[in-house]
A and B are shown apart, each in its own frame.
Chain A
Amino acid sequence: MNSSNHNNTIIFGIGNSARQDDGLGWAFLDKIGKTGFFGGEKQYCYQLNIEDAEILANYDKVFFVDAYEGNDIKDFKIEKCKSNGEITYTTHALSPDAVLALCENIYKKNPEAYIIKIKGYKWNLEEGISEKAKSNLKSAIIYFRDKYF
C-alpha cells in the first residue's frame, strides 16, 4: 500500500496510558506518527463505543490496536475481524466485531478490519509501558509496516 490510499484507512488505538501497558494502543499510534510511513487517520480512544460504527463507515480499511493480557500469544497477533461473528454486548464498551456488526447493520458498510493484539504485562495506575511490552510494540509495528505498507 502506498501513501496515496492511506486516506481510506483508520487506526483505532484503544487503551489508557495511565494504566501502564494498557497504553499500548495509544503508544502504537504515537510511534507510527513519528515514523511517518502511515498517512491515514488515527483515533485515540479509551474504549470502543457504538458511535464508532459511524466512523468506520467512512473507511475501506480499519485496524484496532489494543493491549492483550492473555497468555496465548507470545508478543503480538494480527487477526481479521469478523463482522458476522457472534455478537455480544455486556457493557458500554464494544468489541471490534460488534462495532463492525453495527456498521454493517446500520450503515450497510463492511470495511476490511483487523485487530492488532499486543501483549502487555503490567496494568497498575501508573504511566509508562513495561520493557517487555515495549519490545512487543516494536515487533508489532515492524510487522505492520512491512505487511501492510
Chain B
Amino acid sequence: MSKKIIIDPVTRVEGHGKVTIQLDENGNVKDSKFHIVEFRGFEKFIQGHPYWQAPLVVQRLCGICPVSHHLAAAKAIDRIVGIDPEDLSPTATKIRKLLHYGQVFQSHALHFFYLASPDLLFGTDADPAIRNVVGVAQEHPELAKKGILMRKFGQEIIKATAGKKIHGIAAVPGGVHKNLHRSEIDYFLDGKDIPNVDTMIQWCLEVIDFMKEYHKKHAAWLDTFAAYPSGHLGLVSKDGKGTLDLYDGLLRAVDGEGNITLNDIPDFEYHKYFNEDVERWSYLKFPYIKHLGREKGWNRVGPLGRINVCDSISTPLAEKERKEFMSYTNGKPNNMTMHTHLARLIETLHAAEIMKELLHDEDITGNELVREGIRRNEGIGVIEAPRGTLIHHYKVDDAGKITKCNLIVSTTHNNDPMNKAVSWVAQNVIDKKEEITEGMLNQVEVAIRAYDPCLSCATHAMGKMPLKLSVYDNKGNLKNELVKS
C-alpha cells in the first residue's frame, strides 16, 4: 500500500514547517519534501516606508534573531546614506560587532542546549516526554544551568548595546545611537553579577570537549547521518587572508570537494551571482549560484558552511578547534550534517573570544557615533547571521521611500540542503519499514534541526507549532495520524 507521511510542523525548530514522505505500494520512499507553509509579506509591506525604518521594522519578522535582521538592514541603509562598511567610525563598527557576536553567542547556545542536546543526551528514539530541555534540566542540571547562563550573557550584551533583549535598536543610518560606559563594560568583565566573559570562554571549551567525546562514542552515527556532498557558502574577511568574518566580508563558496565556486566577491554584487527559484509546494525560495545552475548551485550556509569556506579564524582558541575540525576531513570540506553541531560550538567559542576582545577595546566607549555621506538610491547589506548568510537589499526613491526590498534569509539558502537531509532520512531510515515509529520520525527532525532553521525568518510570519503526522495511502485516504501538542 502506498502511504504519505506528513510531519506537520517540525518541532524544536524556530517557525513552522511540514515534512511529507511519499511511499509507494511496496513501502519504498517515492518522494520527500520539506515544505514551508507560512506566508511571507515583509518584502512587500516595507515598501513605501522611509528607508530609516527598515532596520526597525524588518527585524520584527523574528523574535529569535532580530539582531541579525537589524544589522543587515542597517548595513544596507548605511550604503543608502553613502556610508560603506569601511566608512563607519571605529566606535560604531565595534558596538555593532559586539551586538552581533552577542547575538550569535546566545543563539548558538540556545540551539545547542535547548534544541540539539536532548537528542544527543537521550537518543533520537528516547521517550519524547524526556527528550526535551526539561529532561536535560532534570538529568543534567549543571549543563542546563550553563546553557541558561550562556544564553543570558549573550542577551545581556544585546541589552547593553541595543537597549533591550528582543527588538532593541542599536544601529542608525551611518552608525549607532550609543556607546558603552565603563560600568556597562565592567558588568561583563568583573563577574560580580553574572559569570564573566572568561567563564563563557571556559564553558565553551568544556562543551566542545563534551561534543568531541560524544563523537568518539558515536562516530558511526554522526559521520553518516544525513551526510551528503554539497556546496558551502559564507563571508570571509576582506584582507585577503580568508578569515572567518561574521559581520562583514566577501562572499566565498566552495563545492563538496573544496573547489572554489564563488571567489571572494563583494557582498553588494550578490545579485550578479545568485538566482532564486520557487516551487509550488513551498513559500520558501531556492537560491543558487547562477553559473552552476539550479541543480548544482545550492549551498549550505551557517556554521558548517562557514567553517568549510574560511581559511582561518582570527581568535586563537577557536582557530585551534577549527584546525582539528578540518583535519578530520584532511582539509577538505566537511559534508557531515551532524558535524554542524561541533562547528556551531566552535563559532560559539569564537564569539566569546571576540566579545572579550571588544570589551577590552576602548573604542567601544568612543563618542564618534554617526557619520554622513552622499545619498544613494540603493543599498545592500550582508551579514553572517547565526544560521547563515543573510542578505538585505533595498531600493529607495528620491524622497527616501523604499520602492523595492529583497531578503535572502539564511534558512532560505538551506532550503535545498534541508530537503536533501530529509531525503536522506527517508531513504535510509524509513524506506521499506512496515512500522513508522516516533523515533524514526524524530530522525527527520534531527536532520532538519542540525541546520537550526528559522522558518519564521524565512517566511517572515508567526505561527504555533503543534506536530501532526498523517499517513495517507496511494489514493489519498488518511490511514493514520499522530499529533504532538
Contact = CB atoms under 8 A, between A and B. Distances in A.
B137 A54 contact: no
Contacts of A101: 134, 137-138
A43 B41 CA distance: 30
Interface residues of A, number: 18
What DSSP secondary structure best describes chain A's contact surface?
loop
Contacts of A53: 137, 148
Contact of A102 (B63, B144, B166, B464): B144
B110 A106 contact: no
Interface string B49-68: 00000000000000110000
B110 A92 contact: yes
Contacts of B166: 46
A105 interface: yes
B485 A88 contact: yes
A51 B151 contact: yes
Interface in B150-198: 151-152, 155, 166
A73 interface: no
Given A50-B133, A90-B465, A105 B485 contact: no
Nearest to A105: B137
Given A91-B11, A101-B134, A106-B141, A51 B152 contact: yes
Contacts of B308: none
B373 interface: no
A144 to B, nearest CB: 26
A38 B12 CA distance: 37
B123 interface: no
Interface string A22-50: 00000000000000000000000011001
B433 interface: no
B114 interface: yes
A90 B155 contact: no
Contacts of B11: 90-91
A106 B144 contact: yes
A96 to B, nearest CB: 13
Nearest to A55: B152
Contact of A50 (B129, B147, B466, B485): B147
Contact of A87 (B129, B145, B151, B464): B129
Interface string A102-125: 100111000000000000000000
B38 interface: no
Given A91-B465, A92-B114, A105-B141, A54 B132 contact: no
B144 A89 contact: no
Contact of B134 (A47, A51, A54, A89): A89
A105 B485 CA distance: 23
A98 B134 contact: yes
A50 B12 contact: no
B14 interface: yes
Range, interface on chain B: 20 to 34
A84 to B, nearest CB: 12
Contact of A88 (B129, B137, B465): B129
A106 B148 CA distance: 10
B152 A87 contact: no
A47 B165 CA distance: 13
A89 B155 CA distance: 22
A87 B136 CA distance: 12
B146 to A, nearest CB: 10
A131 B401 CA distance: 36
Nearest to B16: A91
A57 to B, nearest CB: 10
Given A88-B485, A91-B465, A106 B14 contact: no
B63 A46 contact: yes
A50 B132 contact: no
A105 B467 CA distance: 27
Contact of A90 (B141, B144, B147, B466): B466
A91 B17 CA distance: 13
Contacts of B467: 90
A54 B485 contact: no
B133 A89 contact: yes
B484 interface: yes
Nearest to B63: A46
Given A50-B114, A102-B134, A106-B144, A91 B12 contact: yes
Contacts of A106: 137, 141, 144-145, 148
A107 B148 CA distance: 11
Contacts of A87: 129, 132, 134-135
Nearest to A91: B465
Contacts of B151: 50-51
B63 to A, nearest CB: 6
Q: Which of B134, B149, B152: most chain A CB closer than 10 A?
A: B134
Contacts of B464: 91
Given A87-B135, A101-B137, 14 more contacts: A50-B114, A50-B144, A51-B155, A54-B148, A89-B135, A90-B12, A90-B484, A91-B12, A92-B12, A102-B133, A105-B134, A105-B137, A105-B141, A105-B144
Interface of B: 11-12, 14, 63-64, 110, 114-115, 129, 132-135, 137-138, 141, 144-145, 147-149, 151-152, 155, 166, 464-467, 484-485
30 contacts: A46-B166, A47-B63, A50-B114, A50-B133, A51-B152, A53-B137, A54-B148, A54-B149, A87-B135, A88-B129, A88-B485, A89-B132, A90-B11, A90-B465, A90-B484, A91-B11, A91-B464, A92-B12, A92-B14, A92-B64, A92-B114, A92-B115, A98-B134, A102-B134, A102-B137, A105-B134, A105-B141, A106-B144, A106-B148, A107-B145
The 7 A-B residue pairs with the shortest CB-CB distance, nearest first, are A89-B132, A105-B137, A91-B465, A87-B134, A106-B141, A51-B148, A102-B137
